[in-house]
Chains A and B, each alone.
Chain A
Amino acid sequence: MSTSTAELYVPDHIVHNTKTITFIRSSMSVIAGSAAGILGLTGYTGFIFYGVVSLFTSFIIWAMKTKGQPGKYFKGKTDVWIDGVFGSLFSYVLFWTLLYGTVHVYD
């Protein structure tokens, strides 16, 4: 533990970053849900697909938004990978079932 400086945060910027990440994650969950519905995934494979897409989204955020330095923009180390993943799961399931029903079930 270093005792050199106490870290002070700008609360507005933390809120702004969380908002930006939530926007990206919710948009991606909508598109990923539509894709899962079109592909006709059922059961566990759909949730595995969501996990893969979330990981990909996290990588995009890590690479394009934080430019490989998430420590500058987030308080926690895992925030960039986990933040908002479970919140967007419900909109994923919504669009997954919607597109599956539209494309595969009804004529």
Chain B
Amino acid sequence: MSSTTTVGRIICFIGFIFLAHASYSTYEHLSYLKAVERVERELPLDIKLETLSSVAIFSLGVALVAGSLKEIYVKSEMAKKTIDLVDTRPSFIIFNHRGRVVKKQ
């Protein structure tokens, strides 16, 4: 697990905590409105802001957790390889070399 993933997980956790707190605040607010017998109209601004910011924080975290994308073009993939890596295949193996003689001695 890379350090980016760890940081992303921590950010996700913070976002989740904010979301849980916002939901509990909403519940408390609604209970209070019911206790004083008023009708629910709109949520307070701070709860709304907390919910929206938790979504934003979580999106940043989850983007870090997800890991990096890979380039889909073969040419960009081949650019990273060395010529020795490309040549390592059965057609290029030589059996008839000096090793046979050297090992006998």
Interface residues of A (CB under 8 A from B): 5, 7-10, 12-14, 16-17, 20, 23-24, 27-28, 31-32, 34-35, 38-40, 53, 56-57, 60-61, 64-66, 72-75, 99, 102-104, 107
Within 8 A of A (CB), among B55-91: 55-56, 58-60, 62-64, 66-77
With beta carbons under 8 angstroms apart, the residue of B23, B56, B67 that contacts A103 is: B23
A72–B76 touching, CB < 8 Å:
yes
User: Quick check: B55 and A13 within 8 Å, CB to CB?
Assistant: no
Nearest-CB distance from B73 to chain A (Å)? 6
| B54/A103 in contact, CB under 8 A | no
Contacts of A38 in B (CB 8 A): 19, 22-23, 26, 47, 51
A-B CB contacts (within 8 Å), total count: 104
B55 touches A31 (CB 8 A): yes
Q: Main secondary structure on chain A at its contact with chain B? A: helix
Q: Which of A34, A39, A66, A75 is B69 in contact with, Cβ under 8 Å?
A: A66
In the complex, which range does the number of interface residues on chain B fall in? 35 or more
Question: Complex formed: what's the CA distance from A104 to B42 in Å?
Answer: 12
A73 vs B68: C-alpha distance when bound (angstroms): 10
Residue of B nearest to A5 (CB): B75
Indicate whether A20 sits within 8 Å of B22 (C-beta atoms), given known contacts A10-B74, A56-B59: no
Residues of chain A lying within 8 A (CB to CB) of residue B31 = 107
Q: Please give, as numbers and ranges, the residues of chain B lying within 8 Å of A73 by CB-CB distance.
A: 69-72
The answer to whether B23 touches A17, judged by C-beta atoms less than 8 angstroms apart, is no
Q: Which residues of the other chain, B, contact A104 by a CB distance below 8 angstroms?
A: 26, 30
Known contacts A31-B15, A64-B63, A65-B69; can you find 15 more A-B pairs with CB under 8 A? A5-B75, A8-B74, A16-B69, A16-B70, A32-B55, A38-B23, A38-B26, A39-B51, A40-B43, A72-B76, A73-B72, A102-B23, A103-B23, A103-B27, A104-B30
Contact B69–A17 (Cβ < 8 Å):
yes
